[in-house]
Structure 1
């Protein structure tokens, strides 16, 4: 992690340079599935102090992709994500906390399939490059907490998410961590 301190303010997520990847299990935990979602957009509002910062991001649920068309079609259907009814997956972090070992945690709510549940993303790397920030964070999500309970045993219950986000400063005057 870099030691440079980012400029407080509002940063717009650079969608083409950001991604969400995941791993999960299937077939009663015997196989590993890797895939991704695309981000639609979002903001990172860095406050002073950094503990008052906020993140708002939206992913395209319909962009779920594992490289297996049959599996992807089933996950996108009403059997699981029902992306026709619930096209967005939203994450809002309302609390940032630095632990005793120097690791940041972003606590907030993940809303998928129309249901919100608490989630904590652990920042695994962060870098500052001028007016840009690059952050990688991981979290484990329980799909049952979002009402996605179909295909028990066949589809994994938990997904390990990795969000790799690049964002550019757009408003250095907005420093209180609240949405504009």
Structure 2
């Protein structure tokens, strides 16, 4: 029995370490997602740009063009009476390690005020951890599928399956 004790202690330590590491990754991804939604609600374009993958910023023509595009999108939404009011990160987080990145699929629930009511939407974000997960980026999946995701996240390896998109639910004001 004594020969098994070091083995059991090692196994317990490895399990505890991997759970701690997963929790740290999850927390980094959750922190980035919370910062992303807070920035969207506050029209904080600088934070949104800092949470955008560098390749996407380059594809947009640089930081200034990205800032301009974000401003136009938000102005257009405001002009239509669309305002993000709240968000919630759901529990079923899934992650995968690929090449030098960590990909975390984060289910979210958002509530937006729209003319005549509110829209509740269930969707997913992908948090991309780089530099040993010290830097996180956030990618919306609304226009992504298994065929075009590699154009946005070059190191995506399909080990996480993108869920089917759900239609938003409109609830009329009373």
- Pick the TM interval, shorter chain: 0.3 to 0.5
TM-score for both structures, normalised by structure 2: 0.35
Higher relative contact order (CA 8 A, sep 6+): 1
TM-score for both structures, normalised by structure 1: 0.34
Greater fraction helix = 2
